[in-house]
Each structure stands twice: as C-alpha cells, then as structure tokens.
Structure 1
Amino acid sequence: MTLQDIADRIQKGLNGTLFEGSLKFDCGGSGVIVLADNQASTTDQDTDCSIRLSQDNLGKLLTGKLNPMTGVMMGKLKVSGDMSVAMKLGKLLG
C-alpha cells in the first residue's frame, strides 16, 4: 500500500467529519501524509503536530493493529508538537 493509497483511505474517513488542527505522519524517506483543512495529502507542510513512524507502522496504526499509546511507549512512533491534535486523531480513527 502506497502513501497515496493510505492518504486516500484517510480522506474517505474524513468525509463528513471535522478535523481541527493539522497533523503530519512523517514516514522519513518514504514520504509524508498531512491532514490539514479536512484534506489528506502527501504534500509536505508545517503542521501543529507531527508523528514520526515507519510506513508499515502507519498502516498498522490506521487499521487498529497498533495502539497509539503502546506505539509511543515501544518507540514505534514519536509525537512532537501539539499533543491535543494527536488526541483528536484517536477519535477520528475510533
């Protein structure tokens, strides 16, 4: 699954849902997915919150196979910036 596929999937999940703030999934050399203005894109930009993780772990996070808190504790994902934006993501995924 490419990052564009993942972004498209997130976009479908956003339809009809208001996501306030901006968030970036930073997958290093694989690229980024940015949630901003109720859009999911693979175009990099500054965001309120950034989550660094592998593309594989991003897929697991979005399919519920990786719990966000467990991921942070195990070092599989690192959150920087506004934590409240990251917390809103949990509601969106749930």
Structure 2
Amino acid sequence: MSSVIDAAVDAIAEKLGGTFDGSAKFVIRGEGAVIVDGAGVRAATEEDEADVTMTADAGTFQDILAGDLNPTAAFMSGKLKLDGDMGTAMKLGSALS
C-alpha cells in the first residue's frame, strides 16, 4: 500500500470521527483507493463497491483533506470526478470540509 493511501485513510478517519452513513470510494490515480462505509475507513480493493466513487490525482485529494480545496470547487473545476450518488458525495464533502 502506498504512503499516500495510508495518509488518506488516517486523514479521512480523523475528519469523520466515526462511521459514515453510506459508502464512498476515493480513487487516487496512480496510488490506489480508499473506501468509507459503515465499517470505517480503509484501503479499498477493486472488488469494493460504493454508493459514489470519487476520482482525482493525489495532489487534489491532499488539498481537499488539508482543507486547501473545497470538494465542490474541485468537482466544478473538473479536478474531481464523481460516479454514483451525488447526495452521498455532498454529505461526505460537508464532513471533510
């Protein structure tokens, strides 16, 4: 597992402070993926499915998790791609901001 994925798991778990109502998968191009669901936050496998999948490069995810980039702004500018339930993505975006 990459250090980027390890850092993302830790940062997301800290920001959420517990479980998340729904499921989301963060695909970090060139690094791997993180899944957030009722079981918590962990590195994802290719078999893990989620209500929404968000895809971006490592820099974009790092900026979002650091609070330097709003998830909605990242989506609107094309830096963050979404596939699936927009409502779940918005709930998670609010929790990460």
Moved over 4 A (4+): none
Q: Which amino acid aligns with 1:10?
A: I
Q: Which amino acid aligns with 1:77?
A: L
How do 1:46-57 and structure 2 match up within 5 A? 46-57=49-60
- How many residues are treated as equivalent by the alignment? 93
Name stretches of at least 5 consecutive residues in structure 2 with no aligned partner. Answer: none
CA distance in 1, matches of 2:93, 2:60: 15
Other structure's SS at 1:32 match: strand
Other structure's SS at 2:50 match: coil
For 1:80, the equivalent position in structure 2 comes to 83
Other structure's SS at 1:29 match: coil
Change (3 A) 1:38 1:91: farther
Asked whether the 8 Å contact 1:19–1:88 carries over to 2, the reply is no
Asked whether the 8 Å contact 1:11–1:40 carries over to 2, the reply is yes
For 1:14, the equivalent position in structure 2 comes to 16
Q: Tell me the TM-score normalised to structure 2 length.
A: 0.84
For 2:37, the equivalent position in structure 1 comes to 36
